[in-house]
Structure 1
Amino acid sequence: MFRHPDHRLLLVSVASSQIGLQIAYFSVSIIAVVVLDLSEAQIGVLNAMDQIALVIFGLLVGAWVDRVRRRPIIVVSEALRALLMLSVPIAWAFDALTAWQMYAVMFLLGLVSVCFDVAQGSYIPMLIDNDRLTGANSHMQGIRSASDTGGPLVAGPLVTLLTAPVAVAVAVAGFAVSAFSVWRIRFQETEPVRSATPNLRGEIAQGIRFLLLKDPIIRTVALSSAWCNLSIGAFQAMLVVFLIRDTGQSTAVVGLILAGSGVGGVLGAMLVGKISQQFGMGRTALVALALSGPGMAVVALSGPGWGAVVAFLGQVLFIASIVVFNVNVVSYRQAVTPDAIQGRVNATQRVITWGSMAVGSILGGFAGEAAGARTVLLIAAGMLFAGCLALLKTPIRTLTELPEEGTGLVEVK
């Protein structure tokens, strides 16, 4: 994959965008906890704002993306994300930064990110053939995960030295590099065929029907993802609160712990191809999902001081397992979905998963205020493990390898 210049540019875009996003989200979390001193419930709502934007606009964005070329959407989205992040240090410099602005920034960031994610998810299977799709997704997941490591590692010291609002501005460079890289890709998309009589409701319904009715594996993953992301949303909403307020870790150490996500992601991306080839994509995905809940529990059981090492290792296990699961199921969905409806199918999947994550963030915030952040993390770990148990007798266990486009389920011989 690295030999093709367009593919290299795509990987540069993925890496720089992810670093920018990680720095932005880490800094926003520190602003909420330290600078604005928001309550657990307020932090839960703040974490949910970008996901709420996806739920509201996701299906519309999916239909729109399938009507136009994807690359311009990616470039413009990155530019808009950069401008949104710049508004935070500017407001802080004038002593005008408020919780309401942070809510607005996160909501608008979520709206722009919907456009970016749906367009990128639809662009990748056009740029890369099916026989290389799993390998490409594992490479990109590895790049994202390495960026997930670098983002918090850079953000922690930046927040300490520059304060969180100023650190947000550093994310702008990542978004700018990403936009420039995608703009330089030479691959020419064909102009999508547009209906003479556009029917927005019908087009949206087509994506929903394909996701929920066409293929039993895609349907199984979509429904199980709703449950699993409910727990992940609660976990992520209370993680920084738990590490700073409950265990007393510094912002630099919190950045190091969160970098465990990147280490786990790289590890998962490195292992997913070989393990899936040996044991089958479906079985590998199920075992990986089963390990993610215990990884969450390890983080929740960590303590102050050297407990940071325990939290780091728990993050590695949790994210490595999630990456292995996601690479396999996303590759399958991309492979069997026709290019003409990639945007709508991707958007529908994201509305389901991120919508449940938004609910989880809000519920986790209120539960954290009532019962404590550690309790929320432990409950989330149990819920995630239960989600794996629910999948054991579903068609996903029969998945062995990627089929040709549109052929659907591949049965175990």
Structure 2
Amino acid sequence: MTAPPGQPGPAPAGLGAGYWRMFAADSVSSIGTVVSTLAIQFLLIDTLQADEQAIGLVRAAQWAPYLVFGLLAGVIAERVRRKPLLVAADLLGMTIFGAIGLLALAGRLTVPIVAGLVFVFGAVTCVSVAAYQSYVPRLVPERALPDAFARLEQMGQVVGSVGPVAAGSLVRFLSAPIAVLVDALSYAVSAVVIATIRTPEPPIVRGESRHLVAELREGARWVYRHETLRPYAFWLHSWFVGRAMVMTVLVFYANQELHLDALTVGLILAAAGVSGVVAAGVAPRLGRRFGVGRVITTVEWVSPLWPVLVVLAQPGPWGVAVLVVAMLLDGLTAMSASLMMTYRTAVTPDRLRARMNATIRTFNWGGLAIASFVSGWVASMWGSRVAMLAGAAILLVATAYLRRSAFRAAVLPVAV
């Protein structure tokens, strides 16, 4: 049974101490991740003299593990307890980014080494993200899911506004390797905080009939035979491809063609976090009132718009202003991000959630890996603007498809 789009659902329940510890851990590691994401790009550009193709290769390497291990990640996450898995993943993240930072400081880092290390990190992320997304519903009551995911999305947007500025400052006033080491430290802190969560997890069901291929098939069948999850998943896969075409070359474009330094780029990227905080904050209320499908299919029209503004930017103050407006528009998609996680979690049984998330993530980030490589190649052949316009075209087609699909009528279950 579902709540009508115009009728609010029940008041949300409390979130609990376990959730807030998870929130704190995710906040710290997310800041580090945003810092290292920008820092590694400047490390590649300034220290290793990488071109667009090399940047695309490194970005593709980070997400390529999803093409190999993505579907397995959900099965693995459902066969073990989630908390120890998340702690182990954070410790591995600390080790990997610590190695990148130290090798860079020692002058021993190369593009292939960066690609290899981020590939290993991507493999770790495959499993940890599947566990994380299905761990949150175990920390909060079902009715609190919209607010739980909305707060996480708000936090992500705050991090998105603070992290790039911090990254740009660290790169400019210290160095890119130091900024990467900050990310390594953030993973260590996150591991310690998650380890203190005391919320009990349900026992692992170990039936005799559990079969790897059957479990993979069941997770995929749930997503791609569901009336509303199917079009949502197809749209989201395309969205990741289109966005990757833009984001892979965005920093290179801003630095090399618009002549902006790391701090300025960080400040521009931070604008998305500012509007994103507001968008994520109003998402639960709008989702309950109008229906998640209507809200998402409306707000996502900004996805193909902001890359076009980026392409139109020219060197100078007006170009910076155009980029800021573009990032403010991009931040509005945070409204759909929290609603998407809430909806797909709410309509999926707990025993399938890790596999559902892993199935969707596999094709999202697998597509991102391929698109990142293609974007770097296109940019090296015809320029960054062509690569970003191709991404905008993909986003436009994907949004139009979602708008005409059954997902437009999607609403949250009454219990949520």
TM-score for both structures, normalised by structure 1: 0.94
325-334 or 249-258, larger mean C-alpha shift = 325-334
Partner of 1:375: 386
Shift of 1:303: 2.2
* Residue 267 of structure 1 pairs with residue 264 of structure 2: no
Shift of 1:276: 2.3
User: Which of structure 1's runs of 4+ aligned residues deviate more than 6 A?
Assistant: none
Q: Quick check: 1:249–1:305 contact (8 Å CA) kept in 2?
A: no
Q: Quick check: 1:289–1:385 contact (8 Å CA) kept in 2?
A: no
Equivalent residue letter for 1:300: V
Q: Quick check: 1:335–1:403 contact (8 Å CA) kept in 2?
A: no
* Residue 332 of structure 1 pairs with residue 315 of structure 2: no
Distance (Å, rounded) in 1 between the aligned partners of 2:345 and 2:220: 15
Partner of 2:303: 292
Shift of 1:98: 0.5
- Where 2:79 maps in the other structure, the secondary structure is coil
Q: 2:403 aligns with which of 364, 383, 392?
A: 392
Q: Quick check: 2:153–2:338 contact (8 Å CA) kept in 1?
A: yes
Equivalent residue letter for 1:328: L
Q: How does 1:99-178 map to 2 (within 5 A)?
A: 99-178=111-190
- Where 2:224 maps in the other structure, the secondary structure is helix
Q: 1:9 aligns with which of 7, 18, 21?
A: 21
- Residues 155-210 of structure 1 show CA distances to partners (whole Å, capped at 9, x for unaligned) of 10101122111210011222122212211111010221012254111111111111
Larger RCO (alpha carbons 8 Å, 6+ apart):
2
Shift of 1:393: 2.1
Distance (Å, rounded) in 1 between the aligned partners of 2:188 and 2:14: 22
Partner of 1:189: 201
Partner of 1:347: 358
Distance (Å, rounded) in 2 between the aligned partners of 1:260 and 1:167: 20
Number of equivalences: 403
Shift of 1:319: 2.9
- Residues 379-404 of structure 1 show CA distances to partners (whole Å, capped at 9, x for unaligned) of 21222122111122211111233355
- Residues 119-148 of structure 1 show CA distances to partners (whole Å, capped at 9, x for unaligned) of 100101121222111111111100111112
* Residue 240 of structure 1 pairs with residue 239 of structure 2: no
Q: 1:326 to 1:93 in 2, by over 3 A?
A: closer
Partner of 2:330: 318
Partner of 1:411: none
Shift of 1:236: 0.9
Distance (Å, rounded) in 2 between the aligned partners of 1:351 and 1:33: 29
Shift of 1:19: 0.5
- Residues 283-333 of structure 1 show CA distances to partners (whole Å, capped at 9, x for unaligned) of 110011112211222222222232223212211211322x22222222111
Identity %: 27
Partner of 1:96: 108
Distance (Å, rounded) in 2 between the aligned partners of 1:280 and 1:90: 49
Distance (Å, rounded) in 2 between the aligned partners of 1:24 and 1:149: 14
Partner of 2:287: 276
Equivalent residue letter for 1:97: L
Q: 1:2 to 1:106 in 2, by over 3 A?
A: farther
Partner of 2:3: none
Partner of 1:77: 89
TM-score for both structures, normalised by structure 2: 0.93
- What 5-or-longer segments of structure 2 have no aligned partner? 1-12
Equivalent residue letter for 1:318: D
Distance (Å, rounded) in 1 between the aligned partners of 2:313 and 2:293: 32
User: What is the aligned-residue RMSD (CA, Å)?
Assistant: 1.6
Shift of 1:261: 2.8
Q: Quick check: 2:14–2:140 contact (8 Å CA) kept in 1?
A: no
Equivalent residue letter for 1:51: W
* Residue 217 of structure 1 pairs with residue 211 of structure 2: no
- Where 1:66 maps in the other structure, the secondary structure is helix
